[in-house]
Amino acid sequence: MPVDQQLTGHLSWRRSEVKTTQLFKEIHSGPVKTIVGIVDTNGVCEAHDYLAGLNAADQAQFMARFERYTQIGYLRSPEEMRIIEESGVDIRVHEIKTRNGHRLFGVEEAHRFVASHGTRKPKPKAVKKHAQRTREDYRDVCEREEQENENG
């Protein structure tokens, strides 16, 4: 069986039974952590769409990282995951990385990784822009989550 057909059944962002709420779309889940993508007000999950659009080899690299992250709760190697270091910020942005130059930006919480979007490896100056965008997306979804909790 071709690799892409083998992977399709294993990648949770490719399965039809993916859990979706108005705020988040589950990308991968394990016993320690869950990886979710932010669903914007138009119902679009950029993180999920980015991952779904990758070729099988790139998806497999992300899947290996997601498996380990959701099983043990962290990725130790800075080649796989790192914090975007910026001074004076209230929300720390992380990126999950592949060897082929793909990045998934998000915010790590106690029991989940909230992914904003993915991209090809950006130039060093552009990393801060992606981190800022991730913080803005995260603040927005936190506000919407708070309103949803207050209303019902």
| pLDDT in the model for residue 20 | 60
| pLDDT in the model for residue 18 | 52
| pLDDT in the model for residue 126 | 95
Residues of the chain short of pLDDT 50, as ranges, are 1-10, 12-17
Arch. (CATH architecture) of 3-151: 2-Layer Sandwich (3.30)
pTM to 2 decimal places = 0.86
User: Domain limits of the chain?
Assistant: 3-151
> Would you call 111 exposed, middle or buried from its count of C-beta atoms within 10 A (0-12, 13-18, 19+)?
exposed
